[in-house]
Structure 1
Amino acid sequence: MKIYNIKRTQYLPIKLSEAWEFFSTPANLNKITPEHMGFEIRYASGGKKMYPGQLICYKVNILPGVPVDWVTEITHVQEPHYFVDEQRFGPYALWHHQHHFREVKDGVEMVDEVNYAIPYGIIGRMANRIFVGKEVKTIFDHRYKVLQDYFQNRIIKA
């Protein structure tokens, strides 16, 4: 199985506590996911506050008009520094997404790192080369822009 990796670093002009509050709230995923994906949270166990073991169930279009169910589990949480979500059921053979937050001068450094694999052997590798890898990159390009726009006018208050 071939494992692919995408890593993005972004600086946001906000406090660490504000970054944590935003990113650890599953409902905010809809704000940063491209609209064409038809992303919809169907269920989140245990309420709104993220915790290790929390399950989040989504409906998402992997191709236009092709919705699939996707279930992720929050496997690790160290507030306010990082959390990890992993796919339990869904379109990938593997999905391991790390979210890291670090206070820096004038804001927060946020690092997203995803390791993923596509099922179906050589067919999955071809699919990644033709469109899946591009789509994953497009998702994180979109997130970057949306987050930049959303947080750009924030003023860090002591």
Structure 2
Amino acid sequence: MQELYYTQQLPISLEEAWQFFSNPANLKEITPPHMGFVVTSKHSGEQMYAGQIIRYIVKPVFGIPLKWCTEITHVEDRKYFIDEQRFGPYTFWHHQHHFTEVEGGVLMEDILNYKLPLGFLGDIVDSVFVNNEVKGIFSYRKKILTERFGS
């Protein structure tokens, strides 16, 4: 299983950060365009809540569409939320999003644990492709958030 950890500090209020990140409609904005990310859930514009199901289509490889379904399993207002894959390309996906008010803004921390299917073959695909793709998504997100909110 892979565990990735990312942080980013933004010069915005905790309230502004929470409003942006807890709205599933904003996921597309922070996902690289080449992934063809489309939220297909009918209620994706609502603020998230524990038990919320979010469905989307993503095209990570050669434009081949994959359906993905996550559940928001935990939410503590203005502190953290957790999304877990229910259906999709991973055997396991658990993504924690933490928000902490700090001097000059907010610190965001992401802890991602994931595992691909197919045993050692999945491990090979992960080391050759998927892990770098996931890291690229977080790099893109950092760039877009810096452009949007400043550094």
* Same fold flag (TM > 0.5): yes
Q: What is the aligned counterpart of 1:58 among 47, 56, 59?
A: 56
Q: What is the aligned counterpart of 1:122 among 120, 128, 137?
A: 120
Give, in whole Å, the separation in 2 of the partners of 1:62 and 1:47: 23
Ranges in structure 1 where 5+ consecutive residues have no aligned partner: 154-158
Write out the 4+ residue segments of structure 1 that deviate beyond 2 Å after TM superposition: 44-47
Give, in whole Å, the separation in 2 of the partners of 1:120 and 1:86: 19
Ranges in structure 2 where 5+ consecutive residues have no aligned partner: none
How many residues align structurally?
Answer: 151
CA-based RMSD:
1.2
TM-score between the two structures when normalised by the length of structure 1: 0.92
Give, in whole Å, the separation in 2 of the partners of 1:56 and 1:129: 28
Matched, 1:150 2:142: no
Cα offsets for 1:26-83 (capped at 9, x unmatched): 0100000000000000005586121000000000012021110000000000000000
Percent of residue pairs identical: 52
Q: What is the aligned counterpart of 2:33 among 32, 35, 42?
A: 35
Kindly indicate whether the alpha-carbon contact (under 8 Å) linking 2:24 and 2:44 is maintained by their aligned counterparts in 1. no
Hey, what does 2:17 align to over in structure 1? 19
Give, in whole Å, the separation in 2 of the partners of 1:84 and 1:129: 25
Hey, what does 1:156 align to over in structure 2? none
Kindly indicate whether the alpha-carbon contact (under 8 Å) linking 2:24 and 2:46 is maintained by their aligned counterparts in 1. yes
